[in-house]
Amino acid sequence: MSRYLLVAGIRLAYGGHLTAGGYTLRLADLLRDPIVEQLRGAPSPYQATPELVTYLPWPMLASVRDEARLGPLVDVLRCDRPTDIDESLDPMFVASPDVEVPSDTPLRRFAWSRGLTVMRERQASELGARVVVGGKLGRPDNLYMGRMPGVLEEALLGIRAQRPVYLVGAFGGCARLVLDALDGVPRAELTSAYHQALPHAEELKKLYTDRSVKWDEFESIAAELKACGLVGA
């Protein structure tokens, strides 16, 4: 799908780590694919460059080597630390971390959740449309880092921002979950009970509540998506 969008002259955006084996690097490799280059032809003078933008959430790390590996065709946009996170909460929560921040405590998972949400809110305000494919559901063997499964939050923020959201449900995952929710199909993955097994689940909710940060119950998200419907998305 990404290859066809690039051939059509679409500028792609992605949010994720820059290390080897990640999807960002695979997208960057597509830009150097000779077939893609030939089919794209010469860039239009009105075409935005570079062809790929990748958003890096705080506190995710990216080395100079990681960025150099992507090449000049990729623009790396580092998102700021959330305004409600600082060193007074944890000495590791510096504005520009130089060591990996784990998610091994409730407060650190809260920090990661806020950083990922800030990145996705920025994407929702800057991108013209969102394509949703796959995505984690939060099983014990496939945990997510943020407040909710990333693809769910991306789709939800895109819909709330009234951006076009294109759902590819055939590959399953969280994209299928969003599609079912829009169609009014009940799913266990959109209940609070399903996500209680995740690390620090109760403590995370309390941190949101205590710090007056909006907390959407999964049941409320399901109702919101059902009310929106497939046409509304």
Domain that holds residue 15: 1-78
What's the whole-number average pLDDT of the chain? 89
Predicted confidence at residue 130, as pLDDT, reads: 94
Calculate mean pLDDT across residues 56-60. Answer: 95
Percent of the chain with pLDDT over 90: 64
Residue 86 maps to a domain: no
Predicted confidence at residue 43, as pLDDT, reads: 62
Tell me, yes or no, whether 118 and 205 share the same domain.
yes
Tell me, yes or no, whether 147 and 54 share the same domain.
no
Last residue of a domain, one of 78, 113, 132: 78
Tens digit of each residue's pLDDT (9 = 90 or more) over 104-114: 999 999 999 99
Residue 83 maps to a domain: no
Calculate mean pLDDT across residues 176-195. Answer: 96
Predicted confidence at residue 146, as pLDDT, reads: 93
Tell me, yes or no, whether 131 and 226 share the same domain.
yes
Residue 91 maps to a domain: no
Predicted confidence at residue 153, as pLDDT, reads: 98
Residue 14 maps to a domain: yes
Residue 95 maps to a domain: no
Give the pTM: 0.88
Calculate mean pLDDT across residues 122-148. Answer: 91
Residue 70 maps to a domain: yes
Tell me, yes or no, whether 158 and 108 share the same domain.
yes
Last residue of a domain, one of 24, 48, 78: 78
Tell me, yes or no, whether 116 and 72 share the same domain.
no
Calculate mean pLDDT across residues 76-87. Answer: 96
Tell me, yes or no, whether 209 and 110 share the same domain.
yes
User: Total domain count for the chain?
Assistant: 2
Predicted confidence at residue 152, as pLDDT, reads: 97
Residue 94 maps to a domain: no
Q: How far is Cα 109 from Cα 115, in angstroms, rounded to an integer?
A: 10
**Residue of higher predicted confidence among 225 and 20:** 225
Tell me, yes or no, whether 29 and 74 share the same domain.
yes
Predicted confidence at residue 180, as pLDDT, reads: 97
Residue 223 maps to a domain: yes
Tell me, yes or no, whether 61 and 108 share the same domain.
no
Predicted confidence at residue 42, as pLDDT, reads: 63
Tell me, yes or no, whether 70 and 5 share the same domain.
yes
Closest Cα to residue 136, out of 153, 121, 119?
153
Predicted confidence at residue 233, as pLDDT, reads: 55
Tens digit of each residue's pLDDT (9 = 90 or more) over 41-51: 666 656 556 68
Confidence of residue 67 (pLDDT cuts 50, 70, 90): confident
Tell me, yes or no, whether 125 and 19 share the same domain.
no
Tell me, yes or no, whether 9 and 109 share the same domain.
no
Predicted confidence at residue 232, as pLDDT, reads: 60
Tell me, yes or no, whether 70 and 176 share the same domain.
no
Calculate mean pLDDT across residues 47-60. Answer: 83
Last residue of a domain, one of 78, 111, 143: 78
Contact 58, 80 (CB under 8 A): yes
